Amino acid sequence: MAFSANLGGWIADTLVSRGLSVTTVRKIMQTVGFLGPAFFLTQLSHVNSPAMAVLCMACSQGTDAFSQSGLYSNHQDIAPRYSGVLLGLSNTAGVLAGVFGTAATGYILQHGSWDDVFKVSVGLYLVGTVVWNLFSTGEKILD
């Protein structure tokens, strides 16, 4: 993630400096940050070795780091004076998802398998991609 987050930042800065709008760049980076992990999680059910499973998980986390140039940079774009508060609120929502996700994972594993857990994750990534691309903006909303 350390490598790919920096790579994503460099790509995002390059795209903006070449004239793409901040909104477009944030959408591209967040899409990579959501669809990349979704793809690698779908591959887990097809691997036959622990090493390949670890590689898929590492690639999933690595592509997730592109979100640093999407969602996590977006707070500064839309409300520079309130970006800290917005980041705190969005991280709180993320933590709540983690709390409920842990319970949901236990429930799913009692009735299914890890493949089912990863399918739910992929579904959430896909829904998140659609919602982000429909409603996000890189334009200032609050002063």
Quick: pLDDT tens for 66-115: 999 998 899 999 999 999 999 999 999 889 988 999 999 999 999 999 99
In a domain, 142, yes or no: no
Give me the number of domains the chain comprises.
1
In a domain, 55, yes or no: yes
Q: What is the pLDDT of residue 94?
A: 85
pLDDT in tens, 33-79: 999 999 999 999 999 999 999 999 999 999 999 999 998 899 999 99
In a domain, 127, yes or no: yes
Q: What is the pLDDT of residue 103?
A: 94
pTM above 0.85, yes or no: yes
In the predicted model, what is the mean pLDDT of residues 109-130? 96
In a domain, 38, yes or no: yes
Q: What is the pLDDT of residue 143?
A: 80
Task: Name the band, by pLDDT with cuts 50, 70 and 90, for residue 139.
Answer: very high
In a domain, 140, yes or no: no
In a domain, 40, yes or no: yes
Q: What Cα–Cα distance (Å) separates residue 134 from each residue in 6, 21, 119, 121? A: 26, 16, 23, 20
In a domain, 51, yes or no: yes
Q: What is the pLDDT of residue 97?
A: 86
| Closest listed residue to residue 74, CA positions, set 121, 108, 27, 114 | 27
For residues 57 and 61, give the distance between their C-alpha atoms in angstroms, rounded to a whole number.
Answer: 6
| Closest listed residue to residue 6, CA positions, set 54, 68, 59 | 68
Q: Is 90 exceeded by the pLDDT of residue 5?
A: yes
In a domain, 39, yes or no: yes
Structure tokens at 50: 């622990």
| Domain extent at residue 28 | 1-135
Q: What is the pLDDT of residue 84?
A: 93
